[in-house]
Amino acid sequence: MLTLLKIRNLALVEELSWDLGSGLISVTGETGAGKSVIVGALKMILGERADKGMIRTGENTCTIESIFDLKDPQEINAILEEGGLPPSEDTQIIIRRSIGTSVNRQFINDSPVTLTLLKKVGEHLVDLHGPHDHQSLLSQERQLAMLDAYASTEKMLSEYRSTYRTWRLKNQELEEIKNAENASEQELELLRYQLEEIQSANLNPEDGDDLQERYQRSSNSTRLQELSSQAVSALTGDDGLLDRISELQRIVRELEKYDNSLSDKLSSLETASIELQDLEATLTDYTEELDIDPSAAASIEERVNLVESLKRKYGPSIEDVIARQNTIAERLDNIENRSEKIENLVNELGETRRHLEGIGVKLTIQRKKSAPKLAKEIASQLKELGFKQSAFEVELTTQKDPTLHGLESCNFLFGPNPGEPLQPLRQIASSGEISRVMLAVKSSLAEQDSTPLMVFDEIDANVGGEIARAVGKKMALLGQLHQVIAITHFPQVAAIANHHYVVEKEVTSGRTRSKLFQVEGELRINELVRMLGGGGQQARAMAASLLEN
């Protein structure tokens, strides 16, 4: 669950440190008190793009930090490792964002991350729903994913999708080969010429720096021989360094006869003599190697010119020229042997399609078996949320061709009023109805949903008092399997929560600040009385009754 949320300099919040508990957590307060800042902070933790206008007036940066304590961080660690980050060493995931007037940064466990990676991690940590956050519920792909979660088809679906991708790749390959039939004779001649030109050069990656070094040596061999000979002469000629070193060694040996303590101090002279002799041998061998045959030098120069010409045409590097050779060869092979290749691919496609449909049929059977059960479960949840005579169905429609998601599409059909035909969810206009349908779906999938935190931002808007209480009960039941934050204006929802927090504005030193604090006992009753819209003993009695019930 989310154990800590820290906010600094975000809108009206100067500084907030919120330690959260488990179960259902209600957040209440007057309109404009700053409840939306909490939602905004959570959205930033989820990877939403930051608006610099949210930085508190007079400040340059704002920061949001959250700590999630996970029962099993394996799924998050897999995402981190895929993104090139080290896995978490314990069950804690720390996310921090810093939004500045010029630079924005985000971190997971103190490692800098991209916004894309943060969003991917956030999707597995928080499920946030507000009055306008139901687009995922209206998507047929998302509806099918919900059915699959309920039907536990993960392993079967993974095998199906792997086979589907293979089938699609083979289809693309077949289309490319068929398109090659349109190649003109002029294009074929050009391809054959280009392939012959590159192949005849017999290129390899060593034709790069190594060939250039050989060319430099051969083209400057005369000067190199002259300089290396001068160096050898300086070492071995009359009065050369080696002769003078020998004379110096004789003098040192005389010194050592009169003072043995000099032996260690002058030992480096022996080392210098040996190294100079090695240097002379190396230079002598090098001079002999430089005696390059003119025909060999001409051959090297010709090879350099050939390689440079190919790089200008097909480069800019040797590796690029070799890659171009492979591309041309593959293109020619597809054109010249297309009949055989088409026949082989058609056979492979048929076999892959049969395998794909075999897995797809098993997937369909599992879905059809689970669809009415899920529909019945959601319908039951809807009745508890005030839709006493509503109907709900999970409709599966066979597709003409296989898709990445299977052999059928899925449509959630809902009829809130008896006697009226069921309609797809996307055709229902009421946000209040959609909110309750979403809550019913979430409740039905509570055990399959692995998201630690669910946030409901005023989804109880536009519903009556008894319905609001039913919504609160449903959230409380979700709170037994997940941590749930409900931002609400309804006392019926706030009263049923395990923990109740209030957001309030205060003015100090001429500045407005939002603060969040937990209410219990009398303070909680006072807040419920405010939400009920009146004071007096009757309102207090009603507030106390809501808490007791």
What pLDDT was estimated at residue 430? 62
Higher per-residue pLDDT: 6 or 332: 6
- 429 pLDDT band, cuts 50/70/90, is low
Q: What is the pTM of this model?
A: 0.62
Average pLDDT, the chain: 83
What are phi and psi for residue 427, nearest 5 degrees?
-95, 0
Better-scored residue on pLDDT, 393 or 11: 393
What's the pLDDT at 209? 57
Predicted confidence (pLDDT) at residue 212 exceeds the cutoff of 80: no
Question: Residue 341 pLDDT more than 90?
Answer: no
Strand order of the β-sheet with 423-424 is 391-403, 406-415, 423-424
Residues 504-533: what's their mean pLDDT? 88
Check: CB of residue 324 under 8 Å from CB of residue 198: yes
Name the more confident of 204 and 69: 69
Top-confidence residue, 301 or 382:
382
For the stretch 17-51, pLDDT in tens is 999 989 999 999 888 777 888 888 888 888 888 88
**pLDDT tens for residues 99-109?**
988 888 999 99
Mean pLDDT of 203-230: 63
Residue 407 main-chain phi, psi, to 5 deg: -95, 0
Amino acid 215 reads Y
Tokens at residue 9, please?
């300099």
pLDDT band for 511, please (50, 70, 90 cuts): confident
Least confident of 297-306, 376-385, 431-440: 297-306
More confident residue, 525 or 210: 525
What was the pLDDT predicted at 322? 83
Least confident stretch, 40-54, 107-121, 387-401: 40-54
Q: What is the pLDDT of residues 439-481, one digit of tens each?
A: 888 889 888 877 788 888 887 766 666 787 888 888 888 888 8
| Least confident among 34-38, 185-189, 414-418 | 185-189
Q: What average pLDDT does this structure show over 162-185?
A: 80
pLDDT band at 180 (very low <50, low <70, confident <90, very high): low
Is the Cβ–Cβ distance between 463 and 386 less than 8 Å? yes
Residue 221 has pLDDT above 80, yes or no: no
- Say what the pLDDT of residue 208 is: 58
Residue 75 has pLDDT above 90, yes or no: no
The pLDDT score that the predictor gives to residue 90 is: 85
Position 223 scores a pLDDT of: 64
Q: Is the predicted pLDDT of residue 292 greater than 70, yes or no?
A: no
Q: How many CA atoms lie within 13 A of 6 on its CB side?
A: 11
pLDDT attached to residue 164: 93
List, in order of start, the domains of the chain with CATH numbers. Answer: 1-125+497-515 (3.40.50.300), 185-336 (no CATH), 519-549 (no CATH)
Q: Distance of CA 134 to CAs 388, 425, 426, 459, Å?
A: 22, 10, 10, 10
Task: Determine the length of the chain.
Answer: 549
Q: What percent of the chain has pLDDT over 70?
A: 87
What is the side-by-side strand order in the sheet with 499-508? 126-129, 453-457, 483-487, 24-28, 499-508, 511-518
Buried b or exposed e, range 442-479, using 16+ CB within 10 angstroms: bbbbbeebeebbbbbbbbbeebeeebbbbbbbbbbebb
Lowest-confidence pick of 248-252, 347-351, 373-377, 401-405 = 248-252
Band of residue 181 on the pLDDT scale cut at 50, 70, 90: low
The reported pLDDT for the residue numbered 351 is 93
Residue 291 has pLDDT above 70, yes or no: no
How high is the pLDDT of residue 133?
57
pLDDT of residue 299: 65
User: pLDDT at position 337, please?
Assistant: 66
Which pLDDT score, from 0 to 100, does residue 210 have? 62
Tokens of 207: 């034709």
By mean pLDDT, which of 229-238, 391-400, 537-546 is the weakest? 229-238
pLDDT for the residue 166? 92
